[in-house]
Structure 1
Amino acid sequence: MNNFKEKADLIWKVADLLRGDYKQSDYGKVILPLTVLRRLDCILEPTKQKVLDFLPKVQNLKDSAIDVALNKAAGFNFHNRSKYNFNKLIADPNNIAVNLRNYINGYSSSAREIIEYFNFDDQIDRMDDPKADILFRVVKSFQEIDLTDMDSMQMGYIFEDLIRRFAEQSNETAGEHFTPREVIRLMVNVLFIEDKDILTQEGIVKTLYDPACGTGGMLSVGEQYVKELNPKAELKVFGQEINPESYAICKSDMLIKGQNPSNVKFGNSFTADGLENEKFDYMLSNPPFGVDWKKAKNAIKKEADDLGMSGRFGAGLPRINDGSLLFLQHMMSKMKANGSRIAIVFNGSPLFTGSAGSGESNIRQWIIENDCLEAVIALPDQLFYNTGISTYIWIVTNHKSKERKGKVQLINATGAKDEELLKEGQRDFNRFWQKMDRSLGNKRKKIAENGNTKGIGFITQLYGSFEENEFCKIFPNEFFGYWRVTVEQPQKENGKTLRNKNGEPKPDTSLRDYENIPFLKKDTQGKLVPQTIEEYFKREVKPHLPEAWIDHSKTKIGYEINFTKYFYEFKPLRPLVDIKADILALEEKTLEMEKTVLE
């Protein structure tokens, strides 16, 4: 797998030729489309002559028929009927621009459309301009890079490594990140583990969808997993992507692998759902963290107001600066009635942001009360290329197994926070991540990809066994709900309570307070049992504020998942005698240092 890094480095070096004629932030406009073209060129090379020999026999047919015939000769869902390839392009330096255009136009329509999304024709003019005169040298550099031995997974790594570098050069926001393959493998493992019996059936056909598919990494790993599990199974993949370069790369990958590239749509999933009314068996996504939805606000709000729960966003609208929960609602609208499963990566915000009655809380309430939230897995920090923040995988389904009904599983896979916890004699906190030999942007940790005692295998095992332990907790759905109540106290004047015309105490707004009352409490045996607002109020508030009362007209229901709180472990303070001994030792050491300096 390290071979991909060597190839990515070679491609990245080509960018040196652009220095001076291009801003660093524009390097991708040249490098990415040429990487796609070179990849297609290498794939088609073994059958190139066969296609050219067959062309005269079919050239009088309709274009669609020619495409079908030449695709068959090429052995792929695409072909190139131009006489040129990269080797022939560099054999004629003086006509490199016209020949390169001829070569691109020689691709079948499905492949040509992909190149068009890069707007590469503009870059041909720019590089061929006498002021730059770098087109031939750039094409020649790519001709010297052999991508024949790269499989789809390795090419995915190459593209994502290049895009990451370009993003860093142009100071992209932390939300514009790419999902490490080990995170995707974990998501895929957990997504499919409940359905292994189904997926090993003869001739089974299932569908997988990603509404923010980027370069197609999640779709590729999902397809690979199912093929390894059952070579006779078929997983049809679908996606949508808003970034034109990522979209083009994803479609080229689909094309090479024999998937239907028309299943991948271009545009904003919220405002122009390219797969409207489609339903899917499985869904995977890593939507951008903390990205606002201002541009789509009018369309989203209109759909929510007009369609309510029969549309995609009826459960609620989150705050404008984070559309994460919109993605999840969008995906849930595409669940099949007989059962679908979703794995999605979020930062911490969707777990708890928003008080009772807010859009975020209402969305969580809808998901949990409908028994759709199956599990949340907390991942180590510093896993992603462009951000070091902590992340969480949510598993959502409308078809829980019998043992999981009415429950939510929480897995703490964050591991050790610092190296002190890894010293001999400490608990094995670090079953979850390894330090990388070399950082990739903000990515300094990786999840081990093999074995059942660490990393992906261990986390998958924690999920699959569905048993509580130090890393896993299981709670009833109601555990996450609470009432937000308004506690009033009476206005007083000269020690007397002021009352309204009905004889009720007037509330003193300066003394108004709020209480979050959980739906459940622990009984004397530590078991979770339901409680009422009244019994909580009588137990926790009245002893301290005997004249207080609850304004029930203002009571709201809220839902949140306070992950850190559930896994918090109290660490007793060090004994005073130990602290005193340390201070005395430090003072003694300081005195000795002073003597040395004075002498």
Structure 2
Amino acid sequence: MMATGTTNVGFEEKLWSAADKLRSNMDAAEYKHVVLGLIFLKYVSDSFEEKYLQLLLEGYGDEEDRDEYLAVNVFWVPKEARWSVIKSHATSPDIGKIIDDAMEAIERENDSLKGVLTKNYSRPELDKTRLGELVTLFTNIEVGSTAAQEKDVLGRVYEYFLSKFASAEGKLGGEFYTPSCIVRTLVEMIEPFEGQIFDPACGSGGMFCQSARFVKEHQGNVRDISIFGQESNPTTWKLAKMNLAIRGLEANLGKHNADSFHDDQHKTLKANYILANPPFNISDWGGERLQDDVRWKYGIPPVGNANFAWLQHMIHHLNPIGGVAGTVLANGSLSSNTSNEGEIRKNMINGDVVECIVSLPGQLFYSTGIPVSLWILRKGKTEYSQNKILFIDARNLGHMIDRKVRELSEEDIQQIASTYQNWRQGKEYEDVKGFCKSATLKEVADQDYILTPGRYVGIAEQEEDSEPFEEKMTRLTNELYGLFEESHSLEDEIKRKLAAIGYGEEK
């Protein structure tokens, strides 16, 4: 049994290791839906059971009245779909059909989940013994005394598993998952306390979950934010629906999955905050069919690259009074002059909607090792940021968490966010050579409207070395000869030891 009082460090990792052992030879992309679907099923059942027991104890409500649950935003779970039924069949060869029937029943009773849940657990190629072991694994999660703790842990487990599946899937993982340290950096920078939050390429919904967490951590009310999203991939759209539901977050993700450029599900939306990690450098986005689109205020984006289409789509959806967007883009967008991109960037800069650019280190993504940048776009800048752009070069921040992936620490995130906030609020900000620079629009124009932070922040000053060259050379040479002598001494000692046990001869 896997237990944790208030969730020990490494709890999610232990659970992942156990679940991953049951994967056997199944492809990570396929197994993802098996596991995440079960976590979601347990979540909705646990939420239902919590309300069920409350009604039972209070005595004045009908615990089998569907409306009692819908009134408090709890999914109605029919008897055959409750986790108590699922776990009782964990060792049955029919466990796959039992789960499929449960998913069908939940979708049938809850309109917002129609067409969202995984319903192919009974397929012959899915090992039913391992499936039953997964059910037992999730059954045995113990997280403390309250249902609230249970639900919080299931939400965190869902999010953690998303990250692990993204890692396992490699390049394809980038389609549904943005590394949490990047999401946290954007959220800390734009501070989405209240109002409408929009993500036009929302993936599995990580931007929204982190925004809700930010509000809670700063003693705000999650009900003060309204969530709007859009996602073109149908499978990823379903993941987002489940991810938000398991967090208890209501959201409008459109009537169905859809392409943001050609089937905008939120045409009239003017959001207070936009958070996005759109796919980089898309070449087949259908731009040739949108040449006269109202969104292209700063210029027609090239049909061969959607980067500046994404930027202008976001600006179009910003509230004209202080609306702010934080997005991730490949570094090429900072300097490219091909196919009208340079002209669009120039017009955006002169229109004073670009507020901050942050260069991030490479290897932050599971899907690509290329370095990326954060763009902060704002309508209605403060008096301190008008006609200026803050450049932050954070390429030297972060640490490797394995051989392939780097991560920003909490200190790194706060350093970036506090530098930006102090600058735009006119607080204690100073340019730091090699890290940050507040540049006027004229200075940017002098650099041909290229937005690469390294051009502006310069190189960090090195500590002065007062030791004369001749003395340093003598010292280093003596140190080197000393190391040579130590090496020879160790070599002789090794030879003596080997000779003593019969390997080689002592000379």
Q: In the alignment, which residue of structure 2 is the partner of 1:487? A: none
CA distance in 2, matches of 1:464, 1:177: 34
Name the structure 2 match of 1:7: 12
- Once residues 24 and 224 of structure 1 are traced to their aligned partners in structure 2, the CA distance between those partners, rounded to angstroms, is 28
* 8 Å Cα contact 2:325-2:378 kept in structure 1: yes
Residue 142 (1) aligns with residue 104 (2): no
Equivalent in 347, 370, 373 of residue 392 of structure 1: 373
Q: Deviations over 1:237-259 (max 9, x none)?
A: 11112344442232234335554
Higher strand share: 1
Give the greater-gyration-radius structure (CA).
1
Aligned residues of 1:51 and 1:70 also touching (Cα < 8 A)? no
Per the alignment, residue 126 of structure 1 pairs with 124
Which amino acid is 1:306 matched to?
D
User: Residues 284-315 of structure 1, C-alpha deviation per residue, up to 9 Å, x if partnerless?
Assistant: 11223x35232x23xx2211x233xx234762
Note the residue ranges of structure 2 that are not aligned, 5 or more in a row: 1-5, 493-506
User: Are 1:38 and 2:42 an aligned pair?
Assistant: yes
> Cα distance 1:136–1:230, how it changes in 2: closer, same or farther (>3 A)?
closer
Task: Pick closer, same or farther for the CA change 1:579–1:564 going to 2, 3 Å.
Answer: farther
Equivalent AA in structure 1 for residue 323 of structure 2: S
The 1:460–1:3 alpha-carbon spacing in structure 2 relative to 1, beyond 3 Å, is farther
- Other-structure match for 2:299: 315
Structure 1 match to 2:288: 301
- In the other structure, the counterpart of 1:104 is 103
Give me the whole-angstrom Cα distance separating, in 1, the residues matched to 2:158 and 2:307: 25
How far residue 326 of structure 1 moved from its aligned partner, in angstroms, is 2.5
Aligned partner of 2:48: which letter? L
Q: Distance in 2 between matches of 1:386 and 1:246?
A: 15
In the alignment, the residues of structure 2 paired with residue 595 and residue 97 of structure 1 have an alpha-carbon distance, to the nearest angstrom, of 68
Which deviations, in whole Å up to 9, do the C-alpha atoms of 1:396-429 show, x marking residues without a partner? 1121112322111123344xx4xxxxxxxxxxxx
The Cα shift of 1:107 comes to 1.9
Return the letter of the residue paired with 1:124. Answer: S
TM-score for the superposition, normalised by structure 2:
0.77
Separation in 1 of the partners of 2:150 and 2:9? 10
Alpha-carbon separation, structure 2, partners of 1:339 and 1:474: 20
Match of 1:79 in 2: 76
Residue 15 of structure 2 aligns with an amino acid whose one-letter code is L
> In the alignment, which of 533, 551, 561 is matched to residue 451 of structure 2?
561
1:106-505 aligned at under 5 Å gives the runs 106-107=105-106, 109=108, 114=113, 116-118=115-117, 120-126=118-124, 134-146=130-142, 148=147, 150=149, 155=154, 157-172=156-171, 175-176=174-175, 178-192=177-191, 206-227=195-216, 228-231=218-221, 234-264=224-254, 266-288=257-279, 290-294=280-284, 296-297=285-286, 300-303=287-290, 305-307=291-293, 310-312=294-296, 315-318=299-302, 320=304, 323-352=306-335, 354-355=336-337, 358-387=339-368, 389-414=370-395, 417=396, 433=398, 435=399, 439=402, 442-448=405-411, 456-457=417-418, 460-461=421-422, 464-465=425-426, 467-470=429-432, 471-481=435-445
Instruction: Indicate conservation of the 8 Å contact 1:226/1:233, yes or no.
Output: no
Aligned residues: 470
Partner residue in 1 for 2:503: none
The SS at the match of 1:27 is helix
**Distance of 1:2 and 1:243 partners within structure 2:** 33
Relative distance call for 1:448 and 1:459 in structure 2 (3 A) is farther
Q: Is the 8 A contact 2:323 2:380 kept in 1?
A: yes
Tell me, in whole angstroms, the C-alpha distance in 1 between the residues paired with 2:422 and 2:141.
Answer: 41
Secondary structure, counterpart of 1:125 in structure 2 = coil
Cα displacement (A) at 1:581: 3.8
After superposition, the Cα gap between the structure-2 partners of 1:14 and 1:109, relative to the gap in structure 1 and judged at 3 Å, is: same
- TM-score normalised over the length of structure 1: 0.67
- Aligned Cα root-mean-square deviation (Å): 4.0
8 Å CA contact retained: 2:444, 2:451: yes
